Amino acid sequence: MAKLDARRYGWQPPVKFFVIGSAAAVAASNDDNGNPTQWVYQVTQLFKAGLGYTQWTEVAAGDGYAGDGYNFIEDSNDGSGAQGNGVDHDGDDYPSGFKMSACPTGTVVPGVLVPAPGAGGITTLECWFAYENGEDGDC
């Protein structure tokens, strides 16, 4: 088996898989129309239970991660200018009545667990994943 040279490739975080549950809008990310462009998701870790599509099962409670999830694509979103998905919410061409959509509930995404400093200096884990947000509205 080939050995990776960490100096050449850097630290490689292990990829895990998660299902997206609920999404809570981050009000500070609202665009000019008052629509959110960031969400805090509730995610649950999965394992592959069989071949092909839809063969995912939640890891038993206490054996995997269940908690807050964040979307790398939304990280720089602030509702002004081009958002992480490339759509400019301030542009004259942005249709009235359109808004960015949160990642759909039930979507399976690959992600990594990242340690982050929490309250009182206690390190907590966050799930970070990448999913291209859609835009929804009527033409």
4-37: per-residue pLDDT in tens? Answer: 444 555 555 589 999 999 999 999 999 988 899 9
Task: Report how far residue 28's alpha carbon sits from residue 35's, in angstroms, rounded to the nearest whole number.
Answer: 10
- Whether 3 is in a domain gets the answer no
- Whether 130 is in a domain gets the answer yes
- Whether 46 is in a domain gets the answer yes
Of 3-7, 105-109, 123-127, where does the model show the most confidence?
105-109
Task: Answer for the pair 32, 90: CB distance below 8 angstroms, yes or no.
Answer: yes
Tokens describing residue 109: 């995404």
Tokens describing residue 29: 């990310």
Domain span including residue 32: 12-136
pTM of the model: 0.85
- As a whole number, the mean pLDDT across the chain is 88
- Whether 2 is in a domain gets the answer no
pLDDT band at 1 (very low <50, low <70, confident <90, very high): very low
